[in-house]
């Protein structure tokens, strides 16, 4: 279980600030607002746009396909091999089933937080990430999360991106004492000196790996041969907090001088960048290998 667990037909309803997602005729209905790619961040964010503006990954995550069902819709995925989980047609719409951790660790009446968590689950968690800056960002965020809840990090992510120059590793690696002091005065971010200094150190180590392997993407995805690990867990209790692979990656990163990269945090990192997919088999966003 990672840090997050720990702690096509679109209908828009004007004047209703709460978003509800349903399944109907094997398609997802989103009654108000849809998650789209933020061009600056590279991640999915909610509130405007439509599914046609997302990339193939978001379409694959936000649609349910079944090749044997004539009423289903088949969408291609950038990161093969994936096939969609089959969800049968129903005459009566029902709530979309997600992994249980989406509903844990916060007040259920907090609809804004609920939507933030749901969007992260639906459009980011378990989706393969290959852009180096985003891989660096997620590595820093996992380090910042140590001792805190993941929802706290998600709420502060926009402020952290602004404070850390959109997690450009070249810029972060060049931060000096004055910049550290400036960050320590920023009440919108995680003001922990050890974590801030770790982010700077890890940026330098990150650049070293880029020089050695051509990209951090090549380095980290090399551990799985370029293909994500697709698990088939039925309950949260089955999902590990660490594995032999996360142990090995953490050990290798520490040897290279990285900090805040324990095995538990690295397994959460693997899940967040899609190196491993731990969506439960009962989840509408679960994928299984087509091989």
Residues labelled catalytic: 120, 142, 150
How far apart CA 150 and CA 265 sit, in angstroms, is 11
- Contact between 135 and 216 under an 8 Å Cβ cutoff? The reply is yes
Residue 2 tokens, joined: 């990672």
Please give the backbone phi and psi of residue 96, each rounded to the nearest 5 degrees, phi first: -70, 130
In 3-state terms, what secondary structure has residue 99?
coil
What does the alpha-carbon distance between residue 180 and residue 166 come to, in Å, rounded to a whole number? 16
The C-alpha angle 271, 161, 44, rounded to 5 degrees, equals 50
Q: Is 180 left (phi over 0), alpha (psi -120 to 50) or beta?
A: alpha
What SS3 state is found at 129? coil
From 291, 245, 290, select the one nearest 74 (Cα to Cα).
290
Q: What's the longest Cα–Cα distance across the chain?
A: 62
- Is residue 217 within 8 A of residue 135, CB to CB? The reply is yes
User: Helix, strand or coil for residue 13?
Assistant: coil
Establish whether the linkage from the previous residue to 103 is cis, with ω within 30° of 0: no
């Amino acid at each position: 279980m990672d840090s997050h667990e720990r702690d096509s037909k679109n209908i828009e309803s004007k004047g209703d600030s709460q978003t509800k997602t349903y399944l109907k005729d094997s398609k997802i209905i989103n009654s108000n607002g849809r998650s789209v790619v933020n061009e600056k961040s590279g991640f999915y964010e909610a509130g405007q746009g439509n599914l046609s503006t997302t990339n193939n990954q978001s379409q694959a995550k936000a649609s349910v396909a079944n090749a044997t069902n004539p009423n289903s819709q088949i969408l291609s995925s950038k990161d093969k091999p994936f096939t969609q989980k089959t969800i049968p047609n129903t005459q009566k719409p029902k709530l979309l089933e997600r992994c249980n951790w989406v509903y844990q660790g916060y007040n259920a009446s907090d609809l804004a937080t609920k939507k933030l968590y749901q969007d992260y689950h639906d459009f980011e968690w378990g989706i393969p990430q290959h852009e180096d800056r985003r891989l660096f960002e997620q590595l820093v965020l996992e380090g910042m999360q140590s001792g805190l809840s993941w929802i706290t990090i998600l709420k502060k992510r926009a402020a952290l991106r602004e404070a850390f120059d959109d997690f450009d590793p070249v810029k972060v690696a060049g931060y000096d004492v004055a910049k550290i002091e400036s960050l320590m005065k920023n009440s919108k971010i995680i003001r922990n000196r050890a974590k801030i200094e770790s982010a700077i150190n890890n940026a330098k180590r990150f650049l070293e790996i880029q020089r050695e392997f051509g990209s951090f993407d090549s380095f980290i995805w090399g551990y799985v041969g370029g293909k994500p690990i697709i698990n088939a867990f039925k309950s949260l209790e089955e999902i590990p907090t660490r594995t032999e692979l996360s142990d090995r990656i953490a050990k290798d990163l520490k040897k290279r001088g990285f900090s805040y990269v324990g095995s538990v945090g690295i397994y959460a990192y693997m899940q967040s960048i899609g190196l491993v997919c731990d969506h439960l088999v009962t989840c509408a966003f679960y994928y299984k290998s087509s091989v």
